[in-house]
Amino acid sequence: MKALSQRRRHPLAAVVLLLMALLATGGIYAAASTANEAQAQTTAFTADDVDEGSKLFAANCASCHGMGATGSDAAPSLVGVGAASVDFQVGTGRMPMQMDGPQAQVKPVQFDDEEIRQMAAYVASLGAGPAIPSDEILDPAEGDTSAGGELFRVNCAMCHNAAAAGGALTRGKYAPSLEGTSEKHIYEAMVTGPQNMPVFSDANITPEDKQDIIAFLKTIEEQGSPGGADLGSLGPVSEGLFIWVAGLGVIIAFTVWLTSRSS
Amino acid sequence: MSSSTATQPYVPKTRVGKVTDYVDSRVGGSTIVKEFGRKIFPDHWTFMFGEVALYTFVILLLSGTFLTFFYDPSMAETTYEGSYLPLRGVEMSVAYASSLDISFDIRGGLFMRQVHHWSALLFVAAVAVHMLRVFFTGAFRKPREFNWVIGCTLLILSLAAGFTGYSLPDDLLSGNGLRIIDGVMKAIPVVGTYLSFFLFGGEFPGTAIIGRLYVLHILLVPAVILLMIGLHLFLVVLHKHSQFPGPGRTNTNVVGYPVGPVYAAKAGGFFFIVFGILAAIAAAFTINPIWNYGPYDPSPVSAGTQPDWYIGWVDGALRLMPGTIGNFDFEFMIPFPWGTNALPLNVLIPALVPAIILFTLMFAWPWIEAWVTKDTREHHLLNRPRNAPTRTAIGVAGVTFYCVMWAAASSDLIATHFMVSLNDVTYWLRVLVILGPILAFMVSRRISLALQRKDREVALHGRETGRIVRLPHGEFIEVHEPVDDYKLYTLTSFESPLPELPTPGRNGKVSRLDKVHGRVSRFFFEDRVAPVTPKELAASHGDHHEEVAGAKDREAISSR
């Protein structure tokens, strides 16, 4: 201790202290965020955010979801759906809903990030629910692509198609294509189960597994189609259509040409 | 004999001549060339689909041989360590791993796989279109009935070749296809489970099926196809090619080019055109991206799981069949002495009935039509489809039936791409699969008859020129231009049989079969447009020329 106290006026003492302080806050933050995982941002909302969000909600959402977000005949209660739900639905343009129908459609996003955050803060304040995921858990580089692929084929491909090109559900509902969907929105969709999608809770698919799935989706999206144009990745139907229309069409053009000069 | 001894024996002078003569005197090539090279083939673009089928089959043999060098039909478990990242470390069968290796680690492998698969799709399509051409032009009539049957067998064999090949990569998509086959087999009462166990070597999926399908795919099926193609072509040469009616073309001649040299060159060139088109498609468009589907695992079924197009109609029939109607579930329990066996008609009806209807009608059609027409003559002149309205209508009805089931196989994609409800698509297609063929029959028969009537008009009164002329007294007429004699011949030289009424036999009675025949004959030939007779033609011509000439005179007068 003597050595330490002797050097407390050393010119570099301030620098060392600063470094130690930075290390401590960084370390605590890192520990806190891994411990909290998805809940990290719930606490980051301020009372101001909730206040602003409440106003935005009353102006834009309450006509269907009701004042206080308790729901109406037209729309469900939002108490307990969590910030992730708002971030997904509003952030992908599904809400406010374009029109009544089997399910909400994607359209241009109506609010900026700040407004979405404020509405998320308001809805999160109404009751505990899935929070907006942290950036670490979304990083596809940290995920295991082939493990994600297996999870995707077992859990997701029956609706979203093996190449994530989307598919039909009953009565006009559908599972959309996942191409171009951000990591955050993929994660939020899994934890909140928007539209007709089931909820894949952390007990069902752990956050690490979710990260693997995101890694798989981002890998197949970035690598493109190794065999040439993918014809929508829709499987044998588009291939059959292609050979009948384009393949046979070109062949017929040649047969007509080859026999045009005869007799 | 005496004259041949008098002529000088042929003595070749050049070196090439000597070699050629040496080979020829032992092989007899010149006689073959003389015979076959002078064979006349008529030209029409619709006659070339059989050729397309033949060429795609050759391409299939070539590309398939390449694939066999690297493919391993083993269902042993392995862990993938190849270069496709999203599957590395995944457990899979050796068959799937070797298919992935062909796609990613063997030079040119993916291209060859895609050439092979695209060729397979085009092969079956070409066979189907070729058969439709033969059907609608009546080329299956005497003496070509057996060749039609060989063609039908080739169609079924090509479906078998396609399906066995489709299953080989042992990916999730094809595994689900096999699962459906397994389900249909097990639906057959009593023997179903035994059949399935026999095919799969135990409970589905087992460890034997890929190897068995491989042997069928590369040995048995192509060998039988090759044999059938040989027979098919032999009969084509024997019968000579049929031709469309036209001036100078009769039932006893063939108008066209000889095989050598023009036709052989054209056909050889066409092979390379087909190969080129397929290579271009294979290079630019992916087909059956097995890496997307993942290894086979009986639990997942991904959205958009469909068979290749030629099996699609059976898949569609399965999709259309309601599982239950109200409380009626189509499932019966049959008590046998050894226990109760299930009869699941909601699987058996869609899986087997449409196929039985279509294939029975297809195989038997030449004899059905011969029975209706009571026609025992040879036919080397083709029908224009409009001139056989009922046959054409039945064909269109069959095509419609097929196409509705085909569409049903893509009901999910119709729903997502046209933003309609999947359930509604299914309901509509259920209605259409019954009503569609009936409507198609009526509409296409009317269209055929209307086209015949138009032909008659054109033959009698000439082509409408669209030139309107006003006569001095104010009347407007449209000038009709008479068609030339060649066209006239084509328009007027066809047969339009009359319905045959049942006549009493020797005992003075009309047999029941005769009555049925009379009814069917009426159904076939009651609605008809009589071909133009020479008398009608002569009468109309006099009329016509006078009118046009007169109109011109009057036109000249009025323009002054």
Cβ distance of B288 and A167 shorter than 8 Å: no
A172 in reach of chain B (CB within 8 A): yes
Contacts of B278 in chain A (CB under 8 A): 247
Whole-angstrom CA distances from B364 to A240, B177, B193, B227, B356 are 28, 30, 32, 22, 12
Task: Note the pLDDT tens digit of each residue in A1-60.
Answer: 677 777 777 888 888 888 988 988 888 776 665 444 444 444 578 888 888 899 999 999
Bigger pLDDT: B519 or A9?
B519
Q: Please, which pLDDT band fits residue B423 given cuts at 50, 70 and 90? A: very high
- Which of B288, B292, B300 is facing A158, going by the closest CB pair? B300
User: For testing the chain B interface, which of A221, A233, A239 should be mutated: the one with the most B CBs within 10 Å?
Assistant: A239
Report the mean per-residue pLDDT for chain B.
90
Segments of B3-76 assigned E as strands: 40-41
Contacts of B407 in chain A (CB under 8 A): none
Contacts of A253 in chain B (CB under 8 A): none
Buried b (16+ CB within 10 A) or exposed e, B493-521: bbeeeebbebeeeeeeeeeeebeebbebb
What's the pLDDT score for residue B246? 85
Residue B175 has pLDDT above 50, yes or no: yes
Average of per-residue pLDDT across B401-424: 94
Q: Please, which pLDDT band fits residue A152 given cuts at 50, 70 and 90? A: very high
Q: Tokens 């011949």 appear where?
A: B489
B49 in reach of chain A (CB within 8 A): yes
pTM of the model: 0.87
- Which of A102, A219, A237 is facing B410, going by the closest CB pair? A237
Average of per-residue pLDDT across A156-168: 91
- Is residue B303 within 8 Å of residue A157, measured between CB atoms? yes
State the nearest Cα–Cα gap between A117 and chain B, in angstroms: 32
> What residue of A is the nearest CA neighbor of B268?
A258
What's the pLDDT score for residue B139? 93
A145 in reach of chain B (CB within 8 A): yes
Task: Note the pLDDT tens digit of each residue in A118-132.
Answer: 999 999 888 888 888
Cβ distance of B110 and A170 shorter than 8 Å: no
Taking the CA of residue A137 as centre, how many other CA atoms within 13 Å lie in the half-sphere pointing to its CB?
Answer: 25
User: Cα–Cα distance between A259 and B259 in angstroms, integer?
Assistant: 14
What's the pLDDT score for residue B506? 82
CA geometry: angle A89, A95, A97, nearest 5 deg: 140
What's the pLDDT score for residue B215? 96
Closest CA to A45 of A125, A115, A113: A125
Beta-carbon contacts of B431 under 8 Å, excluding residues fewer than 6 positions away, are: none
- Which of A169, A170, A228 is facing B286, going by the closest CB pair? A228
Distance separating the N- and C-terminal Cα atoms of chain A: 111
Contacts of A212 in chain B (CB under 8 A): none
Which B positions 141-180 lie with beta carbon below 8 A of chain A?
172-173
Q: Please, which pLDDT band fits residue B134 given cuts at 50, 70 and 90? A: very high
Residue B547 has pLDDT above 60, yes or no: no
> What residue of B is the nearest CA neighbor of A146?
B86
What's the pLDDT score for residue B541? 65
A237 in reach of chain B (CB within 8 A): yes
Segments of A152-231 assigned E as strands: 167-168, 174-175
Average of per-residue pLDDT across B218-245: 93
Residue B543 has pLDDT above 60, yes or no: no
Lowest-confidence range among B106-115, B247-256, B351-360? B247-256
- Which of B45, B302, B416 is facing A256, going by the closest CB pair? B45
Average of per-residue pLDDT across B367-385: 92
What's the pLDDT score for residue A212? 94
Residue B560 has pLDDT above 50, yes or no: no
Lowest-confidence range among A239-248, B46-55, B385-394, B501-510? B501-510
B399 in reach of chain A (CB within 8 A): no
What's the pLDDT score for residue B557? 46
Average of per-residue pLDDT across B301-329: 91
Q: Please, which pLDDT band fits residue A101 given cuts at 50, 70 and 90? A: confident
Average of per-residue pLDDT across A72-83: 88
Cβ distance of B288 and A236 shorter than 8 Å: yes
Q: Please, which pLDDT band fits residue B542 given cuts at 50, 70 and 90? A: low
Residue B555 has pLDDT above 60, yes or no: no
What's the pLDDT score for residue A27? 81
Distance separating the N- and C-terminal Cα atoms of chain B: 81
User: Cα–Cα distance between A257 and B214 in angstroms, integer?
Assistant: 39
Cβ distance of A262 and B287 shorter than 8 Å: no
Residue B387 has pLDDT above 60, yes or no: yes
Contacts of A170 in chain B (CB under 8 A): 421-423
> What residue of B is the nearest CA neighbor of A252?
B45
What's the pLDDT score for residue B77? 94
Task: Note the pLDDT tens digit of each residue in B182-227.
Answer: 999 999 988 999 999 999 999 988 899 999 999 999 999 999 999 9
Tokens encoding B535: 């008398």
Cβ distance of A243 and B304 shorter than 8 Å: no
Residue B413 has pLDDT above 90, yes or no: yes
Residue B1 has pLDDT above 50, yes or no: no
**Quick one: CA dihedral B45, B48, B52, B53, positive or negative?**
positive
Residue A141 has pLDDT above 50, yes or no: yes
User: Cα–Cα distance between B544 and B535 in angstroms, integer?
Assistant: 14
State the nearest Cα–Cα gap between A212 and chain B, in angstroms: 11
Q: How much of chain A, in percent, has pLDDT values that exceed 90?
A: 42
Average of per-residue pLDDT across A162-176: 91
